[in-house]
Amino acid sequence: MSNAVLAQTLIRAVDEADSATRLVQAVQQLANARLVETVPTLIATLRYNNPGAAVAAVDGLIAIGKPAVQPLLDLLDGHNYTARAWAIRAMAGIGDARGLEVLLDAAQHDFALSVRRAAARGLGTVHWEELEVEQAKAAQVQACHVLIGLGQDPEWVVRYAAIAGLQSLAQATADTQPALVSTILTHLQYLADTDPDAGIRTRAAYAQQILHSLGNLSSDEQRPFSAVEMDWRLTLEKLYYRKSQERSLMLPEGDPRRYQELALALMEAVKLP
């Protein structure tokens, strides 16, 4: 069966789905095919009031990558906020530099914590090589400032994503922008010392550890890690496991049940002064 025929068969299954469950299953199969021909249907799915189908569509668009970027950017001009929010998550996952301005704006101004979180992570994984050298350096500085600003976001999940974004940004610029890496390390230390949430302090300290392991920092930027700090990896594994469980529950955004058990687990696992 050719790709074109397979795409049409899978698209027809989405169009003919007669229940929410069958729609999710059909979209999952469509996304798993990773065919460029399915991009319009995957994007159309983002407009449906079906979070399960939207998650599958976002995963499919990310897997398809660059061919999905311009259609996603075209969608952002629409009036359907739900579709726009899902599209931003897909753009963040793809990392194409054409979506940089969208991610910068969403990270700072979107009212949904899930969108700010996705944009924050996406700012750390932009494909900087797609930009001219000087343009990339300026954009990296701008992304750094936005991510540092998100360190004051009232939602801990956004601050957590901002730390992940800063870590990725520092790793990408370690050889080209050492001053930027120093700025990021200083901010991570500030969060590790002052953030009221144990999970954020843990993630900031872990990011420092990863960046120190790069081996190209000045002696003033390096320091040994305590036995407690070396337990961060285990703590973070528990954190990621709990986050995957929350996603599978598909609870509404902001539902306290999404975070209560995670917070308790962190408080038990992390013994920071």
Position 13 in a domain: no
* Alpha-carbon distances, residue 267 vs 41, 196, 260 (angstroms): 43, 12, 11
Position 135 in a domain: no
What's the pTM?
0.77
Domain count, the chain: 1
What's the whole-number mean pLDDT along residues 84-92? 92
> Which H helix or E strand runs over 86?
helix 81-94
How do residues 173-194 score in pLDDT, each as one tens digit? Answer: 999 999 999 999 999 999 999 9
Position 214 in a domain: yes
Position 31 in a domain: no
Closest among 52, 59, 8 to 32, alpha carbons compared: 59
More confident residue, 209 or 227: 209
Position 258 in a domain: yes
Residue range of the domain that includes 178: 140-273
Position 271 in a domain: yes
How do residues 200-222 score in pLDDT, each as one tens digit? Answer: 999 999 999 999 887 655 444 44
More confident residue, 239 or 212: 212
pLDDT averaged over every residue in the chain: 84
Position 240 in a domain: yes
Position 20 in a domain: no
Closest among 29, 85, 88 to 60, alpha carbons compared: 29
